[in-house]
Amino acid sequence: MATAELPMSRTTLPGVSDAPVTRAVVSGATSGDNTLVAAAGAGKGIRVLAICVKAASAVTFRLESGAAGTALTGVVPLVANGDLGWSLPFNPAGWCDTAANTLLNMELGGAVQVSGVLVYQTVAIY
């Protein structure tokens, strides 16, 4: 998984972190659990700032905190090569956070290639 760290300016908006913003490739084709980002370590979680995915065939998709873990999104039906796929636009406050020291998981409802891009931060979780 290729990642690239981007600078993010300090801000005074509530809920917005000044932690570095990172991009990662989304790529998985295993029915069930597909790790998108490894656990960040003790006291740290993964905050999803934006994501865009597209499926090669019809399949269901959801984000989870941990493998077979807590749902962070509802189950999203993806269509085969849909023009827009599924996305959450950039949100500096984040769409969802994993639990501390827990990986970000993509759960697929079948063995279908799902690809895209993820924008996230590693943030302190209390």
Has residue 11 got a pLDDT over 70?
no
Fold of 22-124: Jelly Rolls (2.60.120)
Question: What percent of the residues of the chain are helix, what percent strand, and what percent coil, each to the nearest 5?
Answer: 0, 50, 50
pLDDT computed for residue 4 by the predictor: 54
Q: What average pLDDT does this structure show over 49-66?
A: 96
8 vs 97 pLDDT, higher one:
97
Question: What are the residues whose beta carbons fall under 8 Å from the beta carbon of 53, sequence distance 6 or more?
Answer: 26, 61, 78, 85, 86, 87, 106, 114, 115, 116
Average pLDDT, the chain: 89
What pLDDT band is residue 31 in, cutting at 50, 70 and 90? very high
The first and second tokens of residue 19, run together, are 């932690």
